Amino acid sequence: MMQQYHALKAQSADCLLFYRMGDFFELFFDDAKAAAACLDIALTARGEHGGNAVPMCGVPVHAAEGYLARLIRAGHRVAIAEQVESPAEARKRGGSKALVERAIVRVITAGTLTEEALLDARTANWLVAVAEAGGMAGVAAADISTGRFEIATVPLASLDAELARLGPAEIVVPETLEAAPAGAIPFSPRAFDSLAAETRLKALFGVATLDGYGRFERAGLAAAGGLLAYLDRAGQGALPLMQPPVARATADHMLIDAATRESLELTCATGGGRKGSLLDAVDRTVTGAGARMLAADIAAPLMDRAAIEARLDLVQRFERDPGLREGLRSALRAAPDIGRALGRLAAGRGGPRDLGQLRDGLGEARTLHKRLASLDDRPPLLDETAARLAGHGALIDLLARALVPVPPVDAAQGGYIAEGYDPALDTLRATGGEGRRAIAGLEAQYRAATGIAGLKIRHNGVLGYHVEVQARHADALMAADSGFTHRQTLAGVVRFNAADLHEQALRVGQAGAHALTAEAAHLEELTALALAAPAAIAATADALARLDVAAGLAERAAEGGWARPGFTGHPCFEIAGGRHPVVESAVAASGGRFVANDCALSEESRLWLVTGPNMGGKSTFLRQNALIAVLAQAGSYVPATSATLGLVDRLFSRVGASDNLARGRSTFMVEMVETAAILAQATPRSFVILDEVGRGTSTYDGLAIAWAVVEAVHDMNRSRCLFATHYHELTRLAERLDGLTLHHVRAREWKGDLVLLHELARGPADRSYGLAVAKLAGLPPPVVARAKAVLAKLEKGRAATGGLADGLDDLPLFAAAAAATPPPDPLRALLAEIDVDALSPRDALDRLYALKRAAEE
């Protein structure tokens, strides 16, 4: 057995090997140690190898999916070694000691999952292959759970952005690829052959040319070759469902780099997961397929104005008709995920329940088609979408006749073919039923004949049907003329067989076996018919998802008072009453009210310099406008009173502070790298938000950098830009940059406390309110008081000489030599602690007494 195990392990050295032994998958050696630690199960030993005990652990076959899910989430890959013959076949082949033949039937990886238990229903599961050719990066992506297949060729500099759009579960690259994406799996370079890939794609889809699917460049085809080879290995030569490839071009959608996606939290929040992301705030879909499509829409906002308007027309139709919207959403809730059911069937991992889901989902689609086709005022996208809901009548009717109303998940036990579909099967079932009734009659006869009231006829997988009595009654059945044959003695019970029981058991067993065989044949036939036209079923699945997305966006617009955005041919950005959808939801949940703000960028005022205190809402204002651009071009209503914008080709966000120490980058280095990327790539059609550029270094360096960046964005890139800063010196640029205007978030101090109004107003802020914010944040009063003293000295020095650092030398905090600092003065320390504005009359009197005592001491 160990020889067989090692041979199989050699075929899958980079995977944990699940070795089938009866009702368990067993793992050995280092695989067992890794799995036991990950799954928190017992690590045992079995026999010896090389003089040492062999570590072993195992999981039940019937519960394997749950364990596999945990292993995959932990980053492992698993090879499944199944028994490919029965023990009886093995004995027939090689005698009583013959080893059951096993083979690796599948390699399970994060990107090759199809099982419901292993997938998130609301998230796509992309497997991506990357290749390089001619100085370009090829990206081939497949979600085999639904068959979606995309091929793109992008500049090498845009590879990270393309991968960030997809959010792949797994990335495969040739072993020779330099600067491979983090976590990528190296694969044989021979698999990434563009010519061989083109030939294989033609054969796979039965076409003489790929031109009908779009234009594919060599880098993209090379990546597709690697992807198909990896899927071959995972499926051991059996490819999963693959729809014809879609040619993706970077010009098709708004380009958003990885840093911007992370900063704006489009589909994933900073802490991980959907909660707190834009997707979470917008998503009102009622199906998993709809949620996946909405995520894809937000990840890749469109650049085709006509396509955007078509989506918006559909949303508007549902937004204006609440009754239609609610009826549609109720119907969609009842529709199963037919895309993933089709994927499981195509991968050979489906069963009766997946066919039942196709029947129910396609039936719901047929009903919806009739309802939508009868509507007045149908926008073009509604007609187009509704047309894809029809055309499966024969398959729906066949599955309705063939399957029971609720088919089981496991086909092994049968019972999924409906009565009346196959008369021969009905006869076999009747025969089995008659046999079981006859066996029940035998039990009564045996009790009467033996006088043993506790005699029972039972069944198990080893003995089959047998007679069972308590041990004290066994002697009566042991007699040679009793008609019973002893089979097994256990603690407290003894088991027997009988000739007439054996005869009836054979009838039941044969009828049952023949019935299972007949049902299996029907299952195979029905599956083949369902897979005869996978493209049409996939199109229906996409149509249902598109309706769910549109109805969900309409629901979100209605509940939030969102507005339909308008588009122009010139790069303007005019938002009235704009809000941040995520922050607004959080504020509403706490009982507060979000303060809306306008934004009006145009050629004459394309760059806004926004000043004001921390926590005043500058970053929120910047982000909300970037999110409005994403939502608008994704085909959604937006959180605003009104919105008109020119299409945004590239979106950039440099907001927040973070480091990347693993790549040797400090917070300031990350800031500079991201800013450099913006200046190198932004165009006059881009939208840029920049927050506190230059704050990560010395004051003079940071101010100089921020100054130069503002000039570059204004003069060179000419992008629509919101630039938030605390460098008030930058406001002087408004005197000579004709496209720059000054704005600030309003705040005021009231009785010593800072009141943040979160309102945007024209002109520069009068000051930063930094000390007030520090006090609001809970900085200790002595520290705040000391900061006030330092600030007063700085401002006095600047007023006298114009130098920022003038007057610092006589402050102990900044003195060159610590030894020169005078000892602390208790009276000065007490005085420094006093916040005069916050004292009550009683507190003032107490302070005076304390000062008097200190002076006397």
List binding-site positions. 612-619
In 451-498, which ranges are continuous DSSP H helix?
Answer: 474-478
In 28-177, which ranges are continuous DSSP H helix?
Answer: 29-39, 64-73, 87-94, 159-166
Q: What are phi and psi of 415, to 5 degrees?
A: 85, 15
Write the secondary structure of 536-569 as one string of H (helix), E (strand) and C (coil).
Answer: HHHHHHHHHHHHHHHHHHHHHHHHHCCECCEEEC
Burial class (CB in 10 A: 0-12, 13-18, 19+), 608: buried
Q: Indicate the SS3 state at residue 641.
A: coil
Tell me how far apart the alpha carbons of residues 434 and 445 are, in angstroms, rounded to a whole number.
16
Q: What are phi and psi of 129, to 5 degrees?
A: -115, 140
Candidates 230, 148, 124, 250; CA nearest to 186 is 230
Cβ(216)–Cβ(245) below 8 Å: yes
Write the secondary structure of 833-852 as one string of H (helix), E (strand) and C (coil).
Answer: HCCHHHCCHHHHHHHHHHHH
Candidates 104, 112, 28; CA nearest to 68 is 112
User: Which residues are within 8 A (CB) of 9 and not within 5 positions of it... i.e. 6 or more apart?
Assistant: 17, 31
Buried b / exposed e along 722-752 (16+ C-beta atoms within 10 A): bbbbbbbebbebbeebebbbbbbbbbeeeee
Which two structure tokens, joined as six digits, stand for 230? 């990896």
As annotated, the binding site for ATP includes: 612-619
Length of the chain in residues, anyone?
857
CA atoms 241, 164, 268, 544: torsion sign: negative
Cα separations in angstroms, 127 against 139, 146, 230: 10, 12, 10
Exposure on the CB side of residue 644, measured as CA atoms within 13 A: 8
Tell me how far apart the alpha carbons of residues 827 and 837 are, in angstroms, rounded to a whole number.
19
Q: What is the DSSP string of 131-162?
A: EEETTEEEEEEEETTTTEEEEEEEEGGGHHHH
Cβ(151)–Cβ(245) below 8 Å: yes
Tell me how far apart the alpha carbons of residues 805 and 698 are, in angstroms, rounded to a whole number.
12
Q: What are phi and psi of 278, to 5 degrees?
A: -60, -45
Tell me how far apart the alpha carbons of residues 166 and 10 are, in angstroms, rounded to a whole number.
33
Alpha-carbon dihedral angle through residues 553, 557, 563, 568, given to the nearest 10 degrees: -10
Q: Indicate the SS3 state at residue 25.
A: strand
Candidates 168, 156, 174, 151; CA nearest to 220 is 151
Which two structure tokens, joined as six digits, stand for 153? 């060729």
Which two structure tokens, joined as six digits, stand for 12? 């899958």
Cβ(805)–Cβ(792) below 8 Å: no
Tell me how far apart the alpha carbons of residues 564 and 634 are, in angstroms, rounded to a whole number.
12
DSSP 596: P
Cβ(60)–Cβ(78) below 8 Å: no
Tell me how far apart the alpha carbons of residues 528 and 548 are, in angstroms, rounded to a whole number.
29
Tell me how far apart the alpha carbons of residues 372 and 369 are, in angstroms, rounded to a whole number.
5
